[in-house]
Structure 1
């Protein structure tokens, strides 16, 4: 959801009339294109648009063997513009098939963020198993006129598995109550109440609605949290139930994103609350914010509806509004994070969220034989395809730990842990291209307080322009964009003494876009 450009392009005001044809031309080119030209920094196994601008994941839903990813998309430029919903689908969440643009702006506004469900009981009357999208209309004309009610909620439906869409003739289905920031509906079916429910954000809090038919909605409660200082506008909510690991207990999780400078290391970020939900009201005993990712490049993430085995699978936008429009890519801009499975665990009478790569990701990896790796295994090694790899190991730590990825140009991406102060850090100051944005440089050094640990289980996933770090099976996570001018081929763990390394594994990762 674009939130931070205060002046909208005049061209966007007439998008409902003029941009559909150009978007259709892009659609045809994308669907017909068989091969993807792999540009510099184009990921091998993270989702990217074939061309132009992408941000938030939207409408995440599973249906008939396919995971559907809709996303904020501007088909006419590599910077943000009048929002559409792009569309891709996948059988495994890793190999994606690009589909035509799903939703276009119209007279009610741009198509901002939202969600999608499968109406198994035909409650809306659009047809059994209709795919129904619920999204925010953003009216640029009203915004330009200074009105505050320029965001409303609309719906559309598809009877051909998301290929074509019909907008509901009586949109909007939720009108604006007089709130400037009123958006991002996430819908789910409440089995206990046999009703549809949704969470949406209203400036600095969450509102919860319910409906028997996806068309007629009634507000039933609100959730607020006393942030001091305030974290700014709330965005992209999600509400779902998960079992607590190792128990018969179940808890509800509420996810919220924030732009601006709210995240722990600056810029955009996503936090969560673990609590209880009685079908009307969400409550939590949590005293402070917990963050789903402490890196600077995981924002606006939400989870899939209707997944097999009720797994809760999360995907985030792998960027940051502080520099998203100026990252050094050419034909496309922005990627999604690896899909991650979420779980809840309890520690010291508190509840926390874990996130780790989905199980299916292992099928894309293959361990590299030692005879293909040069150097002092495992402390200082070189490998040609390190830039598209997964490195995992367990470390017993006496005082500190440092991990260095580097290339022949002397560029370095550094991870470190200091046992004395409990801080895990990442440093991309000299990782490659960094001068495209002052805000990127300002957040080059990032910290995460994980406390005193005698041992760490570490997994690092590198792609062409990203690093995703999972500590202790996903208890702590950091996601960073990096832009090395030459692929990293060297890896080093320091110190070489007083550090016990076990279960070291270097895996090469399949190219999912070939």
Structure 2
């Protein structure tokens, strides 16, 4: 197989991430076809192989063995004069139900959206098509009889296919969207080629923008395999809790035919701006189109999202590449204060990336001030900190700073809010909507606020209270803005513990 590059190669610009995947010199957006196969994690994604803005949609391809270092490969499924290759998923057809396998080789089968171009037989239509691979996912052949599922719709897209095992046997189940109708549609198949409509879900909860990129998976509640719930995720643009693109999730039951949510409310019951009434995958501005890996080892549920926002996606100041992916996150379903919610934690063995002895700070009180921490500076870091609130109106950290400016990440305890203020984070003038103060609800645990923050060259990902709340945000600081500071405003706050680990 041909290899192009890894994202950990020598940086060609100051924003190229060290911890997050980005294409070598092209545009990427939605993750597609996530699958673990033969010991390798495969990440496919929406890719413009001819430029660094959206267009010419094809499937790019990268692989990893540890979810941390990614190797880029040639375009997997390219667009052509007939169709763009929109989002979709990949399954391992172990028993060759599709008939695409040969001899002892079972195929990988990609189910993707054909967005048909002007002049094609299906002009203006989005329908679902197949491609298959017999070499482990590196080369692909389109099915001769595409499309295999056509609703004669211009906005029917983003199929996620899973293997469902129920009381009456197993089958393939597809979840896709009618994007402008705020509906997830469910189909089943025995052979991936012939599909039968099952049901639909929605509109429900957030409907401030079109629905895209759904996913469906079971999770044990609090780790109990005898108590399993199903999670349906769906992304929307715009309509996110802090403007622009975002993802929401529903918790409920799936019986092989329909999904019934215990966390959904009829669209319109709340104001479109009543974001606190819904479950969000991430409260930051830059986490969209998140989907999970099929066949992850040990039944882990691992997700990756696109780290960008359609409000300014084509304008972020990176070159020649544009847009990174998020870190891989392991998600679980836990009972928090009597309510079920997704808890997300970064996946991967981070100890392999540690470059020096961590910086540590013991119990320290800050009194209405901002203090730079000598010895804690860096551009690629993991920061673990616990705060005990005092009289301060807000407190937290200043990341990638220069002694005066930086990205503020902190807590407003009286409001019960986590916030990220990137108005002075570096380059912000490339788009009017980028400078922002973004917030999320957060509760203290035993009068403590605990944050794990992953800082990369153009982003931060915040995991609060053990991953109960997350915020992913792009930032574009100057190369020499490396300071880390602590602050409290309007009173005192105490740092119970702080550890800063340099990563590379």
**TM-score (norm. length: structure 2):** 0.88
Match of 2:41 among 50, 67, 81: 67
Check conservation: 1:420, 1:452, Cα contact below 8 A: no
1:412 aligns with: 406
In 1: Cα distance, 2:65 partner to 2:3 partner: 23
Distance in 1 (alpha carbons) for counterparts of 2:162 and 2:359: 48
Q: Distance in 1 between matches of 2:14 and 2:302?
A: 29
Distance in 2 of aligned mates of 1:225 and 1:459: 35
Provide the residue aligned with 2:450 in structure 1.
457
What is the distance in 2 between the residues matched to 1:75 and 1:269? Answer: 25
Corresponding residue for residue 272 of structure 2: none
Q: 1:448 aligns with which of 431, 440, 444?
A: 440
Candidates 402, 426, 429, aligned match of 2:420: 426
Distance apart, 1:369 and its partner CA: 4.5
Q: Distance in 1 between matches of 2:290 and 2:7?
A: 29
Are the structure 2 counterparts of residues 89 and 385 from structure 1 closer, same or farther at C-alpha, using a change threshold of 3 Å? Answer: farther
CA distance in 2, matches of 1:130, 1:196: 15
Distance 1:217 1:385 in 2: 55
2:127 is the counterpart of 1:152: yes
SS at match of 1:473: helix
1:411-454 CA deviation, whole Å, 9 max, x = no partner? 3111121111111111100110000001212xx11111224662
Taking the aligned partners of 1:28 and 1:67, their CA distance within structure 2 comes to 17
Change (3 A) 1:406 1:307: closer
- Correspondent of 2:13 among 39, 61, 72: 39
Q: CA 1:258/1:358 → structure 2, altered by over 3 Å: closer, same or farther?
A: same
Q: Does 1:343 align with 2:332?
A: yes
Partner of 1:211: 189
Distance 1:503 1:416, change over 3 A: closer
Equivalent position to 2:485, from 466, 470, 492: 492
- Check if 1:82 corresponds to 2:82: no
Q: Deviations over 1:1-27 (max 9, x none)?
A: xxxxxxxxxxxxxxxxxxxxxxxxxx9
Corresponding residue of 1:313: 302
* 1:163 Cα offset (Å): 1.4
**What 5-or-longer segments of structure 2 have no aligned partner?**
266-276
Partner of 1:392: 384
RMSD: 2.6
| Whole-angstrom distance in 2 between the partners of 1:164 and 1:171 | 18
Supply the distance in 2 between the matched residues of 1:320 and 1:165 (Cα, whole angstroms). Answer: 30
Write the distance in 1 (CA, Å) between the matches of 2:8 and 2:440: 42
Give the direction of change, closer, same or farther, for the CA distance of 1:325–1:289 in structure 2 (3 Å limit).
Answer: same
Counterpart Cα distance in 2 of 1:105 and 1:111: 6
Aligned to 2:162: 188
Structure 2 CA distance, aligned partners of 1:304 and 1:383?
A: 38
Pairwise mapping of residues 22-421 of structure 1 onto structure 2 (< 5 A)?
Answer: 30=4, 36-127=10-101, 128-141=105-118, 150-175=125-150, 177-192=151-166, 193-203=169-179, 204-227=182-205, 230-245=207-222, 247=224, 248-260=226-238, 262-286=239-263, 287=265, 288-365=277-354, 368-370=357-359, 380-383=372-375, 386-399=378-391, 400-408=394-402, 410-421=404-415
- Return 5+ residue gaps in structure 1 as ranges: 1-26
Residue in structure 1 matched with residue 271 of structure 2 by the alignment: none
Write out per-residue CA displacement over residues 301-320 of structure 1, whole angstroms, 9 at most, x where no aligned residue: 10000111010000000000
Distance 2:7 2:475 in 1: 28
Report the more deviating stretch, 269-278 or 491-500. 491-500
Match of 1:477 among 470, 494, 501: 470
Asked if the contact 1:421/1:452 (under 8 Å) is kept, the reply is no
Contact 2:215 / 2:292 at 8 angstroms: preserved in 1? Answer: yes
Change over 3 Å in CA distance of 1:255–1:148 after alignment to 2: farther
> CA 1:34/1:57 → structure 2, altered by over 3 Å: closer, same or farther?
closer
- C-alpha contact (below 8 Å) 1:409/1:486 kept by paired residues: no
Q: Tell me the secondary structure at the aligned position of residue 188 of structure 1.
A: strand
TM-score (normalizing by structure 1): 0.87
Farther off after superposition, 159-168 or 101-110 = 101-110
- Aligned-partner Cα distance in 2 for 1:205–1:142: 29
**Corresponding residue for residue 13 of structure 1:** none
Which sits farther off after the overlay, 92-101 or 313-322? 92-101
Spell out, residue by residue over 1:200-225, the C-alpha distance to the aligned partner (whole angstroms, 9 max, x if none): 00121000111111111111111113
Classify 1:501/1:407 alpha carbon distance in 2 versus 1 (closer, same or farther; 3 Å): closer
Contact 1:142–1:150 (CA under 8 A) maintained in structure 2: no
Measured against aligned partners, the alpha-carbon deviations of 1:18-77 in whole angstroms (never above 9, x if no partner) come to xxxxxxxxx979369995443120001110000111111000001111000001011111
Q: Structure 1 residue 382: deviation in Å?
A: 3.0
What SS is found at the alignment partner of 2:399?
strand
Larger % of helix: which? Answer: 1
Deviations 1:259-291 (A, max 9, x none): 12x100001001111111111111112144210
Q: Quote how far apart the aligned CAs of 1:362 are.
A: 4.0
- For the structure 1 residues 276 and 142, does the alpha-carbon distance in structure 2 shift closer, same or farther, using more than 3 Å as the test? farther
C-alpha distance in structure 2 between counterparts of 1:29 and 1:198, whole Å: 32
Q: Give the number of equivalent residue pairs.
A: 474
